[in-house]
Chains A and B, each alone.
Chain A
Amino acid sequence: MKKSLLHKTLLPITLYSLFVLSASVPAYYYLVDSIWLEELDEHNLSIAKQTENELNKLNLSDEELAGSILLWNKIQPGTNLKELPRHVPGPDSVYTVWKQDPYEEHKDIDRFRGLARHIMINDKPYELIIETNIEETEEIVLAISLVTLFFFLVLVAGFLLLNRKLSAQLWKPFRNTLDRLKSFNLSSQTSIAFEKTDILEFEELNDVLQKLIAKNISVYRLQKEFTENASHELQTPLAIIKNKLDLLLQKETLTDRQYQIIEEANKALTRLSRINKNLLLLAKIENHQFDNNESIPVSSLISQSLGQLKEHSDNKNLEVVFDPDAEATVNGNKTLCEILINNLLLNAIRHNNPNGIIRIKADQQGISVANSGSNALDSEAMFKRFANVSSTNAGSGLGLAIIRQICLRHGWNISYQFSDHFHIFRIRF
């Protein structure tokens, strides 16, 4: 199933935002944590200094000091003041420890930030340890994650809504272009006027399409003119020769033999003229110059053609059996259909045995024309141009090629079969 372009970009963008936002959770956590720890360290240090200063300021005696320290240690959990045996100079030690907070209800292990500092009280070395409870880490993580998830959902919802809105709006010029292309008809020879758009790529597309179409139209027109001019050029000398023969016939001093020669020349000219017309017709069909379609009453066209050809079928004493379906209609080009039917019937008459039969059927599915005959024809080559020309066959050799081309243009299927001494041509709509 094909997806729209914006849908395809939606997934990577969504995944990317998920990834970034997920990465932001630990990032925020560590940032907040490190700031918080720094604050706690400063807090611990300031308490340590304050404790040192205040204790020194009190100027207590050794006994009072020991007692105070005992009291101090008891009432300040998380701090501990211990006398050191001898002065151990050293830097402060900052550390983290996990232990249970004695004052909290729950039994969880909390995180504590500690400071161990050597201080001097009344010039005696002491070790002061201060441990402060860092806020529960899970709560930080949970809070950050929830907020982040919230923002992620807002993002995705936003993407979907924007997608829908943009899809209609952004692609409008593209859809316009598509519509105009769909309704383009080459044989009408009118170029397409694309709507102006401010989107770079679509404007470029329209420009290129415009040029392509203009070229197409001009090629089509040139071909059309060429085939028509070529045919015209050929017909003129043909007409001259034909007319000169007509005049020659009027000379009083002709012999019978001379008359015959003129007759034969005339027949050849007529054939030549027909070949020329047929070639032109083929070129026009291939060049899409028969683009009009209408609903065609098949049976009445066949009847019409049979009427015109009656004399010729009677000459050969042919029996014509026509089984018409009066309702049968097909969508196509009327001129071409007439030519198709005429050619089919003419062939059925010409290639028939004297006293033979022609069977014609026409219905909504197609047409079939069968005529009695002697030998099967080569079905491979027969639809090619000039495949079947022989001295006994006065046709132009293009009849079947034209039939085939007309079928192609309409999307119809034509087949040939020889059975029971009958040549059968079937056209399926």
Chain B
Amino acid sequence: MKILIIEDEPELAQSIAEYLSGKSYLCEFASTFDQAQNKIHSYHYDCILLDIMLPGGNGLKLLEELSSMDKQDGVIIISARDALDDKIAGLQTGADDYLTKPFHLAELAARIYSVIRRKQFGNTNTIQHNELRIDLPAKTVSVRGRNIALTRKEFDLLIYFIGNKNRVISKSTLAEHLSGEFADMLDNHDFVYAHIKNLKKKLQDSGCASYLKTIYGTGYRWG
């Protein structure tokens, strides 16, 4: 998958690329408005990460250009601006998702995964991971044809891990993912442990291989 990272802060762009690197993702960079414009007009990407606050121009303009070019590239806005107005403006101009800095790279990866799958597979969006089959739009999971009943949070965690294959994700990162706004306000992250335990058990009970591993005591990895 080709990813275009439009971000003027080099350390951030570098970190994203490093996290995403591997067999699945190929990353390109643009750090100014003009560079981004050139790249957009010349190439096609599976997903574009767009920072609104760009030197040389407003990122939203690029978004408008993308819409007018009728391109199918997925767009995720990454911005330090948290205001509701900015989010609404971004999504209305055609972005597929909006992520506020600072975010965990795992969160970004999960969103990229979702956006790409939605854009490319639409209604027949199923993930096949060996014996595991996930129907994304229907939100059902089956192992060798047999359905597993997962709660909404367990399903969400499953997709999150699939989108972050082979990456170590810490408990606090998962807590932030599950609680969003309130993550740090709550002292106890044990609820994360409970969800993971349940998910693991259900997968195991249905005969699925144990892809979800516990590392370092409270870290997790899929694959």
Q: Which of A's residues lie within 8 Å of B, judged by CB?
A: 228, 231-232, 235-236, 238-244, 246-247, 249-250, 254, 256, 259-260, 262-263, 266-267, 269-271, 273-274, 277, 280, 308-309, 311-312, 315-316, 335, 342, 346, 349-350, 392, 394-396, 399
- Decide: B101 and A236 in contact? CB cutoff 8 A: yes
B80 at the interface (CB under 8 A from A): yes
Q: In the complex, how many residue pairs between chain A and chain B have their CB atoms under 8 Å apart? A: 122
B43 at the interface (CB under 8 A from A): no
Asked if A239 meets B80 with Cβ closer than 8 Å, knowing A259-B217, A312-B191, the reply is yes
Q: Which of B's residues lie within 8 Å of A, judged by CB?
A: 9, 11-12, 15-16, 18-19, 53, 80-82, 84, 101-106, 153, 167-173, 176, 178-179, 181-188, 190-191, 215-219
Q: How far is the CA of A247 from the CA of B178 in the complex (A)?
A: 21
8 contacts between A and B (CB under 8 A): A228-B81, A236-B9, A239-B101, A243-B16, A267-B172, A277-B82, A312-B179, A312-B186
Q: How far is the CA of A312 from the CA of B187 in the complex (A)?
A: 10
- Decide: A263 and B80 in contact? CB cutoff 8 A: no
**Other contacts beyond A236-B80, A259-B215, A394-B184: 20, CB < 8 A:** A239-B102, A239-B103, A240-B12, A242-B104, A244-B11, A246-B19, A246-B105, A249-B219, A250-B19, A250-B167, A259-B218, A262-B170, A263-B170, A269-B102, A277-B82, A312-B179, A316-B188, A342-B182, A392-B187, A394-B187
Asked if A270 meets B172 with Cβ closer than 8 Å, knowing A246-B104, A247-B15, A315-B191, the reply is yes
- Decide: A238 and B217 in contact? CB cutoff 8 A: no
Report the nearest B residue to A265, measured CB to CB.
B172
In the assembled complex, which residues on chain A have CB atoms less than 8 Å from the CB atom of B104?
242-243, 246
Q: How far is the CB of A189 from chain B (nearest CB, A)?
A: 14
- Decide: A266 and B172 in contact? CB cutoff 8 A: yes
Asked if A273 meets B191 with Cβ closer than 8 Å, knowing A232-B53, A235-B80, A246-B19, the reply is no
Q: How far is the CB of B146 from chain A (nearest CB, A)?
A: 28
Q: Which 4 A-B pairs have the closest CB atoms?
A: A239-B102, A259-B216, A243-B15, A235-B80
Q: How far is the CB of B85 from chain A (nearest CB, A)?
A: 10
Q: How far is the CB of A302 from chain B (nearest CB, A)?
A: 16
Q: How far is the CA of A228 from the CA of B81 in the complex (A)?
A: 8
In the assembled complex, which residues on chain B have CB atoms less than 8 Å from the CB atom of A277?
82
Report the nearest B residue to A277, measured CB to CB.
B82
In the assembled complex, which residues on chain B have CB atoms less than 8 Å from the CB atom of A316?
188
- Decide: A239 and B172 in contact? CB cutoff 8 A: no
- Residue in A246, A308, A392 with the greatest tally of chain B CB atoms within 10 Å: A246
Q: How far is the CA of A271 from the CA of B16 in the complex (A)?
A: 22
